[in-house]
């Protein structure tokens, strides 16, 4: 399998962590859409020119991280899957990931608003709203989090996604933004990033 996309994308990173935890070998191509020659290569793999993408032997090219994660869980089977394939625990984990995805999407939206527009074109009320929504999303996760992992004793996809998303949000949040005050999520990130599957996929500037 070939995983396409740099680990600066938290969605690519959560796929890479998952594959490493599951013991699935893959080739990594860290293509970026903002580099012209890499963008052309990426477009050949994914017409949407976005990451991650996973090139597989049996299912073609998958271009959405949630789809990729579901494919990986079915590939390894219910005993190893990071999200149960059915039942109430699946719903619980999916609900936590819904909060995590929502929180990081707001963080990413603010990051691009700040990074792609000239400062004189910033719409500060919109950026402030995005930062507040991201903060509230992570606070909701904090309230739901158990210990040592999000759902208790065993690591699952809610942990992988939360750590990848939390790390991105913390690293890219403006200094003057409302603080992300989530001690359980901070401890979760520290615990997870002590593991090679997480630390080896962590962007070097984090």
Same domain, 72 and 92: no
Q: Which domain holds residue 43?
A: 2-76
Same domain, 56 and 145: no
Same domain, 145 and 182: yes
Measured between alpha carbons, how far is 194 from 173 in angstroms, rounded to an integer? 23
The pair of structure tokens assigned to 63 is 């271009």
The secondary structure of residue 200, as a DSSP letter, is T
Strand partners, 2: 27, 55
Give the global pTM. Answer: 0.96
Q: Does 45 map to a domain?
A: yes
Same domain, 112 and 191: yes
Q: Which among 76, 99, 131 is the end of a domain? A: 76
The predicted pLDDT at position 131 comes to: 97
Same domain, 21 and 96: no
Tens digit of pLDDT for each residue in 114-135? 988 888 888 999 999 999 999 9
The predicted pLDDT at position 3 comes to: 98
Strand 61-62 to strand 53-55: parallel, antiparallel, or no bridges (unpaired)? Answer: antiparallel
Per-residue tens of pLDDT for the chain, all 206 residues: 999 999 999 999 999 999 999 999 999 999 998 888 899 999 999 999 999 999 999 999 999 999 999 999 999 999 999 999 999 999 999 999 999 999 999 999 999 999 888 888 889 999 999 999 999 999 999 999 999 999 999 999 999 999 999 999 999 999 999 999 999 999 999 999 999 999 999 998 89
Q: Does 82 map to a domain?
A: no
Q: Does 51 map to a domain?
A: yes
Strand partners, 62: 54
Same domain, 94 and 64: no
The predicted pLDDT at position 19 comes to: 98
The secondary structure of residue 54, as a DSSP letter, is E
Tens digit of pLDDT for each residue in 88-104? 999 999 999 999 999 99
Give the chain's domain count. 2
Q: Which among 12, 45, 76 is the end of a domain? A: 76
Q: In degrees, to the nearest 5, what angle opens at C-alpha 147 toward C-alphas 146 and 151?
A: 50
Q: Specify the CATH number for the domain of residue 23.
A: 3.40.30.10
Q: Does 125 map to a domain?
A: yes
Q: Does 171 map to a domain?
A: yes
Measured between alpha carbons, how far is 9 from 4 in angstroms, rounded to an integer? 11
Q: Does 201 map to a domain?
A: no
């Amino acid at each position: 399998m070939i995983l396409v996309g740099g680990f600066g994308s938290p969605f690519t990173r959560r796929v890479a962590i998952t594959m490493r935890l599951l013991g699935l070998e893959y080739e990594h191509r860290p293509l970026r859409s903002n580099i012209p020659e890499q963008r052309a290569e990426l477009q050949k793999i994914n017409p949407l020119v976005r990451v991650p993408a996973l090139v597989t032997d049996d299912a073609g090219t998958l271009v959405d991280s949630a789809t990729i994660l579901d494919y990986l869980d079915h590939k390894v089977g219910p005993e190893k899957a990071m999200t149960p394939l059915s039942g109430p625990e699946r719903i619980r984990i999916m609900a936590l990931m819904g909060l995590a995805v929502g929180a990081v999407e707001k963080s990413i939206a603010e990051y691009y608003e700040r990074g792609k527009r000239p400062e004189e074109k910033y719409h500060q009320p919109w950026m402030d709203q995005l930062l507040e929504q991201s903060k509230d999303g992570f606070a909701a996760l904090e309230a739901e989090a158990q210990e040592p992992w999000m759902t208790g004793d065993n690591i699952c996809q809610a942990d992988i996604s939360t750590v990848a998303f939390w790390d991105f949000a913390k690293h890219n949040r403006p200094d003057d933004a409302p603080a992300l005050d989530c001690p359980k999520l901070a401890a979760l990130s520290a615990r997870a990033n002590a593991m090679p599957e997480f630390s080896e996929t962590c962007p070097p500037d984090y």
